Structure 1
Amino acid sequence: MGSELHDNALEEQLLPRDIPPHQESSRASFASSVFNVTHAIMGSGILGLAFVMANTGIIGFSVLLLIVALLAAYSIHLLLELCQQTALTSYEDLGFCAFKTTGKVMVAVAILIQNIGAMSSYLFIIKSEFPAVISGFLHISHNGTPWYLNGQILLIIIVICVVLPLALLRKIEFLGYTSGLSILFMVYFTAVVVVKKWYIPCPLFNGTVGYVKNISSDECTPKFLQISYKSAYAIPTMAFSFLCHTSVLPIYCELQRPSKSKMQKVVNIGITLSFSVYMLSALFGYLTFYGKVDSQLLHTYSQYLQHDTIIMSVRLCLLFSVLLTVPLLNFPARKSLTLLCFSNLRFSWFRHIIVTLGIQLLIVLLAMYVSSIQNIFGVVGSTTSSALLFIYPGLFYLQISREPLKSLKKLGALGLVILGILMGVVSLVLIILNWIHSTATVL
């Protein structure tokens, strides 16, 4: 009881007090905070989860996804504890508090790479889906021969004409509201995946050439436990899909009558909703295509339902969401890069433009020349996602908290660090070995 009273007193001391009524009413409600956390979680990772299930099995996937979701909730719990103890409300500031400039740089580098990876995955979606949308509307073969069906050309045009002008703006708060539609699009995508499972028979049917030949009935049987070299992408893709830690602390600051317990409930509900959407889309996507599912789920549908109106509408919604999200992700990436490279943080249009152009050039090159979106999920997920989701929260808690090392929370933080390092290193090594094996097979 004494500990609880101390925690409550500390919480009241550190969190905003005596907020004027007009400011309190302008703060985010509980429901809108849940919406914001869910929006921060759900992204392009949803497209790779059916592929992960195909390579881990239904039970293996479900167990791993649940573990990653629980660890994500626990690591956010540690971050909220640190916010309460230090009165700091940004990931970078917690890094500085723990390890001074080194800690702040560690966080900034991880956020920069994470956002570059996320933006690259979105541009990869544009490269792969926009030609399919055009060919679907024109009812012509999607062979990439005409320039307007060439994904790389379309990607460059869209970045120059749409993404870059929005990213160059100093403030684009209006996109923060419209990008909330992405949650609706994710739910719509999941509903379509569930419904379409009953319209695509196995053996797989192609509307152009008929049934696919030489497919055994065993390939239409779901696997409950599956291990292959592609299973190495499982945890990195899941970590990439659940990462929201850089957004949680600002959302915490905007919450009406903020408290650690209230924000933890917000996070738990957001993670539960995201887990449900992820689970449904992965399960029914896998049960539709089984072992034939592509690393980018929508691309698999284009092979069998080229001119399906519903699938085309999903593509359009996804492309619209991407066009709104990439400029938003450019802001934290630019902030991190500016923090790392420039000591003078006063605004400069010249620096603003150069940094933005550099980031856009890098993500375009990655999207153009990375062969599979799964490679983006794998590398980013096993490195920066693992660091931001598992390693840094535990490491910062061990360094900042004054509890004894044998306390339950510090032991939990230590376990989170060790687990994060092991999962990240093992996954990255297996992914690299997978690349070497694939290259040797091609040669």
Structure 2
Amino acid sequence: FGINNFHIEKLKRKTSFGISVFNLSNAIMGSGILGLAFAMSNTGIALFIILLVCIAILSAYSIHLLLKSAGVVGIRAYEQLGNRAFGSPGKMVAGCIITVHNIGAMSSYLFIVKSELPLVIQAFLGKHENTGEWFLNGNYLIIIVSICIILPLALMKQLGYLGYTSGFSLSCMVFFLISVIYKKFNIPCPLENHGNSSQTPLNITDDFCEAKLFTINSQTAYTIPILAFAFVCHPEVLPIYTELRDANKKRMQQVANISILAMFVMYLITAIFGYLTCWIPQGTLLLLHTYIKVDPLDVLMLCVRLAVLVAVTLTVPVVLFPQILFPDKPFHWARHILIALTLISLVNVLVIFVPSIRDIFGIIGATSAPSLIFILPGIFYIRIVPKEQEPMTSRPKIQAACFAGLGFIFMVMSMSFIIIDWVNGESRSGGGH
């Protein structure tokens, strides 16, 4: 679920190695984990593992480039590296990309609220299906949650205790992971109707219950953006580096490698067990949302939903915190309130009108994620590391250039495939109805 991307506090007491690993793991962990089973169902197990390994290794290399660049100039902030590399335009571009990514992250969190909160209320009321009341309408609920919970927390002058929600967020995801593993061994395939007999049948065939190693379809285009979105933590790396006790590049790289490895294992287990539960419809992205199709009143999944809902709701103000947009300026209430209202309104409009969280993962994962992981670290490294130290023809500089180029290719290809899928989807729905 991540920590604050811009706000850097200089702590009097430095952070230990273990706590730094915990903090960076939290920065990596995000709502993307809920879409990993969907991603695996559209690639197959073997192709998914290959892609996951590649993204994890490339993320670690990207952090190496950032740490090397920061070490040369002694800067510990992502946007300041942009300023050092390209002046004010570089700082502005880096800041805008981080802001776009944050808006995407907030949108994904609120989309979870929109999808899951009606189901939780429905379960508490003992209903097996949504009967259409206003309090079961996700659009109304996210507006209410934004006004009553997120806005007051975002308007606080200091982040304070909100920083501690990262620990709770990670605990929720561990709870979610355990529940996914447990459910794998408790749900038959093909699925027999549970609960209310009036439930809509899922029409799942025996063939669907066979795990596939390789699969390619129209939804495969979303897999790499979802994985990239799930591994973005790069704006948080330098602030965590700043707070690390006995900080040096090698020690911080070890923090990054351990954090990425831990999240790799967690992501892989979640994806495999979610996919092997096998009754999950391919059109359903949020793994949590699919369990409602088995038993709408399942107590375990109700607890998981509640935990995740509380976690994402409390994480939104940390990501949104208005003061982070102007870290160098003195606090001003009017600006603070105006930015908070603007951002919350923008995110609410996005969540209400974007039809699927898949589109949020796809767009953000195909634009800001490759920029933060591939393109910016590569070009910052090329510009910041002196030519006397590493000429442009040196292997590290050539690798960094290829790395940035790979990110650009990935961005263009992902967006192209996603747009093609949108066009084909609209033509299919237009022809079908």
How does the TM-score come out when normalised to structure 2? Answer: 0.93
1:212-242 CA-to-partner distances (Å, cap 9, x unmatched) read: 4754321110111111111111111111100
1:270 alignment partner in structure 2: 259
Residue 357 of structure 2 is aligned to residue 368 of structure 1: no
Asked if structure 2 preserves the Cα contact closer than 8 Å seen for 1:144 and 1:150, the reply is no
1:287 maps to amino acid:
L
2:397 maps to amino acid:
K
Whole-Å separation in 1 of the counterparts to 2:24 and 2:240 = 8
Whole-Å separation in 2 of the counterparts to 1:327 and 1:194 = 31
1:353 alignment partner in structure 2: 337
SS of the residue aligned with 1:425?
helix
2:31 alignment partner in structure 1: 44
1:143 Cα deviation after fit? 1.6
- 1:256-267 matches, cutoff 5 A: 256-267=245-256
1:142 Cα deviation after fit? 3.2
Select the residue among 218, 225, 248 that pairs with 1:229: 218
1:322-364 CA-to-partner distances (Å, cap 9, x unmatched) read: 1110000002x6634x58xxxx934321111111100000101
Asked if structure 1 preserves the Cα contact closer than 8 Å seen for 2:65 and 2:377, the reply is yes
Q: Which one is further off, 101-110 or 210-219?
A: 210-219
1:195 alignment partner in structure 2: 182
Whole-Å separation in 2 of the counterparts to 1:297 and 1:305 = 14
1:73 alignment partner in structure 2: 60
Q: Which runs of 5+ in 1 are unaligned?
A: 1-18
1:211 Cα deviation after fit? 9.8
1:16 alignment partner in structure 2: none
SS of the residue aligned with 2:246?
coil
Asked if structure 1 preserves the Cα contact closer than 8 Å seen for 2:323 and 2:331, the reply is no
1:272 maps to amino acid:
L
- 1:110-121 matches, cutoff 5 A: 110-121=97-108
Whole-Å separation in 2 of the counterparts to 1:364 and 1:205 = 37
Asked if structure 2 preserves the Cα contact closer than 8 Å seen for 1:203 and 1:212, the reply is no
Whole-Å separation in 2 of the counterparts to 1:330 and 1:144 = 33
Asked if structure 2 preserves the Cα contact closer than 8 Å seen for 1:58 and 1:225, the reply is yes
- 1:56-67 matches, cutoff 5 A: 56-67=43-54
| Percent of residue pairs bearing the same amino acid type | 45
Residue 293 of structure 2 is aligned to residue 303 of structure 1: yes
SS of the residue aligned with 1:206?
coil
Asked if structure 1 preserves the Cα contact closer than 8 Å seen for 2:122 and 2:130, the reply is no
SS of the residue aligned with 2:87?
helix
Q: CA RMSD in A?
A: 1.8
1:313 alignment partner in structure 2: 303
1:12 alignment partner in structure 2: none
Q: Which runs of 5+ in 2 are unaligned?
A: 1-9
- 1:52-201 matches, cutoff 5 A: 52-143=39-130, 145-201=132-188
How does the TM-score come out when normalised to structure 1? Answer: 0.90
Whole-Å separation in 1 of the counterparts to 2:330 and 2:21 = 34
1:6 alignment partner in structure 2: none
Q: Aligned pair in 2 of structure 1 residues 56, 372: CA closer, same or farther (>3 Å)?
A: same
1:290 Cα deviation after fit? 5.4
Asked if structure 1 preserves the Cα contact closer than 8 Å seen for 2:102 and 2:319, the reply is yes
1:225-265 CA-to-partner distances (Å, cap 9, x unmatched) read: 11111111111111110000011100000011101100100
